[in-house]
Homo-oligomer: A and B are copies of this chain.
Amino acid sequence: MNNLFAAPTEKLAEEMTEILAQGRHSRIERILSTGHVSAEGFWYDQDRHEWVALLKGAARLRFEDEAVELRAGDQMVIPAHRRHRVEWTTPDEPTIWLAVFYD
Contacts and interface: CB of A to CB of B under 8 A. Distances in A.
Contact of A77 (B21, B24, B75, B100): B21
A9 interface: no
A4 B2 CA distance: 20
A41 interface: no
A24 B80 CA distance: 13
Shortest 10 CB-CB contacts between residues of A and residues of B: A25-B25, A3-B73, A5-B73, A23-B102, A21-B51, A4-B73, A26-B102, A26-B26, A21-B77, A23-B103
Given A21-B77, A21-B100, A26-B102, 18 more contacts: A1-B74, A1-B75, A4-B74, A6-B73, A20-B51, A21-B51, A21-B102, A23-B25, A23-B49, A23-B103, A24-B103, A25-B25, A25-B102, A25-B103, A26-B26, A28-B51, A55-B55, A98-B98
